């Protein structure tokens, strides 16, 4: 836990000083939602819950891909990753710290994206957002776990930044469908019981991705 806290604290401290990852993720989410609003809701009327949910999850996927890449490429650029691999810290601990950092960055971007979505799709700040929160949290956790593992793989090959979305998005599609369905139901004002089955699917994929990342990270990361 000491190594986990130290690595996570370092990543958060670096981000608090520069804010590059958070600003980039929020700006990207804003651009995606703007495009989706004009493409899918040109009349400017009341926002459709399904359309708003789809736009929100598109923003989550793209911002999550960048967030997971940033937490590992920053280490590789200055040789810090080599030092971490040579340290006594377990590689599974390194994975957990990087995954939590990516999750935090994604959560900040999501919060900004939800505010933008409510404004652009003419929705209200009400209880529907409280029902939406656990859906987005589960989605961000699962995608952070998957993207962090795949970022370690893509970071060791040429054009890895282009390879990461090609690997992450197809694997995340079942969880993405569940997340969009649950988010649409939440934004439509349906009770939690109406989309509990979709939440169970999200939880199952979160467990799968977290377990796979924890067990496989040490095999895909290594010294150059």
Do 139 and 57 contact (CB within 8 A), yes or no? yes
Residue 90 has a CB neighbour count (10 Å cut-off) of 13
Distance CA 70, CA 105 (A): 10
Distance CA 213, CA 146 (A): 7
* Tokens read off for 31: 């651009």
Do 61 and 176 contact (CB within 8 A), yes or no? yes
Instruction: Tell me how far CA of residue 52 lies from CA of 28, 38, 55, 104, in angstroms.
Output: 16, 12, 5, 22
Tens digit of each residue's pLDDT, the chain (224 residues): 677 787 777 777 877 776 666 777 778 778 888 887 777 654 544 457 888 888 888 888 887 777 777 777 666 666 676 766 677 777 788 888 888 888 888 888 888 888 888 887 778 888 888 889 999 999 999 998 998 888 877 766 665 567 777 888 888 999 999 999 999 888 888 888 888 899 999 999 999 999 998 888 888 776 54
* Tokens read off for 53: 């949910």
pTM: 0.84
| Residue 66 Cα to chain centre, angstroms | 9
Segments in 87-159 forming alpha helices (H): 91-120, 127-154
Residue 124 has a CB neighbour count (10 Å cut-off) of 8
């Amino acid at each position: 836990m000491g190594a986990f806290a130290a690595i996570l604290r370092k990543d958060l401290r670096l981000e608090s000083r520069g804010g590059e990852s958070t600003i980039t993720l929020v700006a990207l989410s804003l651009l995606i939602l703007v495009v989706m609003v004009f493409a899918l809701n040109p009349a400017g009327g009341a926002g459709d819950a399904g359309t708003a949910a789809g736009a929100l999850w598109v923003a989550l996927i793209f911002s999550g891909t960048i967030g997971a890449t940033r937490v590992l490429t920053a280490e590789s650029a200055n040789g810090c990753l080599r030092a971490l691999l040579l340290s006594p810290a377990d590689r599974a601990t390194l994975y957990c710290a990087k995954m939590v950092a990516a999750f935090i960055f994604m959560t900040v971007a999501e919060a900004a994206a939800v505010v933008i979505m409510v404004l652009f799709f003419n929705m209200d700040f009400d209880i529907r957002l409280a029902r939406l929160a656990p859906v987005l949290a589960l989605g961000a956790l699962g995608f952070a776990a998957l993207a962090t593992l795949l970022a370690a793989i893509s970071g060791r090959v040429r054009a890895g930044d282009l390879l990461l979305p090609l690997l992450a998005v197809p694997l995340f599609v079942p969880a993405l469908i569940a997340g969009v369905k649950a988010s649409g139901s939440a934004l439509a004002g349906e009770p939690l019981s109406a989309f509990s089955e979709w939440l169970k699917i999200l939880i199952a994929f979160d467990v799968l991705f977290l377990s796979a990342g924890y067990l496989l990270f040490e095999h895909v990361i290594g010294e150059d």
